C-alpha cells in the first residue's frame, strides 16, 4: 500500500513535439494496401469446371478414338493392294512406310473408313508407362518397417514383422502376439504367430 499523500508522477507529455518515426516504422509495409486479387481479373463465365471422373472419361475416349484412327489407317494401307517392298514379309512385319505407294491417295477420315473386318489381324498397340495395360515392374519390391514406415532391412523371425533398426526391434520384442498379428494384417499378411 502506498503511503498517504503520495501521488504517482505522471510521464511528461508535451503535445508540441511531434512523433518522429523510427527506421522500422519508415520501412514498414503494413500501411500499404495489399489486395490479394488482381484488380483487373474477370471471371470467365464460358469456362465450365469438370470433376475428375469427367476429365478421365474424356481422356479415355480421346485415346480410344486415336487407337481406332491408327487401326483404320493400318487397314487402309493394307487394303491398298498389298504393295510391299522387296525386303519386307507379307505376314505383317513390314512397317507402314514400306507398304505405302507414292501415287496412292491419302488415308480417308475415320467417318469414311469401312467397318473393321473380323478376319483382319491387327497389330496391338504397345502399352506405355502411363497406360493401364503396362506390365508390372520387374524390380524387387521394397520392404518397409511395419511400425515406423521407414525402409526395413531386417525381419523378426518370431513374429515376421519388418523393422528399421534395433530401437524398433526393442519395441517389437515387447509386443503381444495379438498386436503383432494386427500389424501383419495391416500389411496384408496373415501367418500364424507363435
Question: And the C-alpha cell for 123?
Answer: 497389330
By 3-state DSSP, what share of the chain in percent is helix, strand and coil, each rounded to 5?
30, 5, 70
* pTM (predicted TM-score): 0.33
**Residues whose CB falls within 8 Å of the CB of residue 158, separated by 6 or more in sequence, listed in order:** 194
Asked, for residue 4, whether it belongs to a domain, the answer is no
Beta bridge mates, 162: 155
The pLDDT score that the predictor gives to residue 124 is 59
Per-residue pLDDT, 78 = 82
**Cα–Cα distance measured from residue 116 to residue 122, given in angstroms and rounded to the nearest whole number:** 10
**pLDDT of res. 171:** 94
The residue range of the domain holding 64 is: 50-124
Q: Which long-range contacts (CB under 8 A, 24 or more apart) does 161-168 make?
A: 162/187
Rounded Cα–Cα distance for residues 182 and 146 (Å): 10
146: burial class by Cβ within 10 Å (0-12, 13-18, 19+)? buried
Question: Alpha-carbon distance 86 to 31, whole Å?
Answer: 82
pLDDT at 47: 76
pLDDT at 143: 94
Residue 194 pLDDT class (50, 70, 90 cuts)? low
Residue 115 pLDDT: 53
C-alpha to C-alpha distance for 187 and 162, rounded to whole angstroms: 10
Residue with the larger pLDDT of the pair 78 and 192: 78
On the question of pLDDT at 69 being above 50, the answer is yes
In the chain, how many domains are there? Answer: 2
Does the pLDDT at position 159 exceed 70? yes
70 and 118 housed in the same domain: yes
**Across all residues in the chain, what is the average pLDDT?**
77
Cβ-in-10-Å burial (0-12, 13-18, 19+) of 169 comes to middle
What mean pLDDT comes out for the span 95-109? Answer: 57
In-domain check, residue 152: yes
Q: Are residues 66 and 119 in the same domain?
A: yes
Q: What is the pLDDT of residue 121?
A: 46
* 45 belongs to a structural domain: no
Q: Is 14 inside a domain boundary? A: no
- Compute the average pLDDT of residues 41-61: 85
Share above pLDDT 90 across residues of the chain, in percent, rounded to a whole number: 30
Identify whether residues 95 and 156 lie together within a single domain. Answer: no
Residues 103 and 63 in one domain: yes
- pLDDT score of 86: 46
Are residues 101 and 167 both part of a single domain? Answer: no
Domain boundary residue among 72, 92, 124?
124
Distance CA 91, CA 84 (A): 11
The verdict on residue 30 lying in a domain is no
* 174 belongs to a structural domain: yes
- Is 42 within a domain? no
Looking at the structure, tell me whether residues 166 and 103 fall in a common domain: no
* Shared-domain flag, residues 118 and 152: no
Query: Average pLDDT in the 36-58 region?
Result: 83
Backbone angles phi, psi at 87, to 5 degrees: -85, -10
Between the alpha carbon of residue 92 and those of residues 85, 86, 97, 157, 178, the distances in Å are 12, 14, 12, 55, 60
Q: CB neighbours (10 Å) of residue 161?
A: 26
108, pLDDT greater than 50: yes
Is residue 112 located within the same domain as residue 164?
no
Amino acid at each position: 500500500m502506498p503511503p498517504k499523500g503520495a501521488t504517482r508522477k505522471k510521464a511528461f507529455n508535451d503535445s508540441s513535439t511531434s512523433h518522429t518515426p523510427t527506421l522500422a516504422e519508415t520501412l514498414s509495409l503494413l500501411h500499404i494496401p495489399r489486395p490479394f486479387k488482381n484488380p483487373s481479373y474477370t471471371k470467365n463465365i464460358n469456362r465450365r469446371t469438370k470433376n475428375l471422373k469427367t476429365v478421365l472419361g474424356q481422356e479415355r475416349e480421346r485415346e480410344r478414338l486415336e487407337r481406332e484412327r491408327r487401326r483404320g489407317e493400318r487397314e487402309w494401307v493394307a487394303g491398298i493392294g498389298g504393295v510391299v517392298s522387296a525386303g519386307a514379309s507379307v505376314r505383317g512385319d513390314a512397317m507402314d512406310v514400306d507398304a505405302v505407294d507414292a501415287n496412292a491417295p491419302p488415308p480417308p477420315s475415320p467417318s469414311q473408313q469401312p467397318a473393321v473386318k473380323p478376319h483382319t489381324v491387327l497389330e496391338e498397340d504397345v502399352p506405355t508407362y502411363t497406360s493401364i495395360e503396362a506390365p508390372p515392374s520387374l524390380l524387387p519390391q521394397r520392404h518397409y518397417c511395419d511400425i515406423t514406415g521407414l525402409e526395413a532391412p531386417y525381419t523378426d523371425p518370431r513374429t515376421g514383422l519388418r523393422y528399421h533398426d534395433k530401437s524398433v526391434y526393442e519395441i517389437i520384442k515387447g509386443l503381444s502376439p495379438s498386436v503383432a498379428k494386427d500389424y501383419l494384417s495391416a500389411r496384408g499378411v496373415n501367418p500364424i504367430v507363435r
